[in-house]
Amino acid sequence: MINSFIQPPTVPLLKQVAQFNERRQQVLTANIAKIDTPDYKTQDLPVEAFQEAMKKAVRQLKSPSRHTSQSTSSLLPVEFPSTLMTREPVVDDLFTDELFRSQQLPSHSLGLQDNGKRNIEHEVMEMTRTLMMQSYAMQMMTSQYNLLESVISGQA
């Protein structure tokens, strides 16, 4: 129950986005570091599978099947809205370890003389996109916690 007060419902999703993008940055950086290695096949995380897990998590958080805790609400001296007293679904279960494991992907360029298929422009573009998503997730988490801090301190 206390966790629902100190952790807004979107924070677990933002945490997963931040972790996924951090891991993806590592994989993409390794691709660039090995760009000149003969026969190296580029790796990436399963972005589409992560996006599907994210959609499921958002649907789970929006679903009306939340359970209201009546036993704890009677113990509180102040009346809180029922939306604050709901038990948030655990979204971490939707984000399996498979989503954070790199895998070889189809090439994004013409073949090189060594039959490797690597494209530094594509890797840099994906790194930039990943960095932007990472930055967005961190900014959203920071703003949620800043809002919570201002509510607690009575400034909101």
- Which residue's entry shows tokens 């655990």? 90
Helices 11-33 and 120-153 sit at what angle, rounded to 10 degrees? 150
When comparing pLDDT for 6 and 29, which is higher? 29
Q: How far is CA 5 from CA 1, 16, 97, 113, 144, in A?
A: 7, 19, 28, 58, 12
Mean pLDDT of 109-120: 58
One-letter identity of residue 106: P
| pLDDT tens by residue, 14-54 | 999 999 999 999 999 999 999 888 888 889 999 999 999 99
The pTM score is 0.71
pLDDT number for residue 80: 41
| pLDDT tens by residue, 83-96 | 444 444 566 778 88
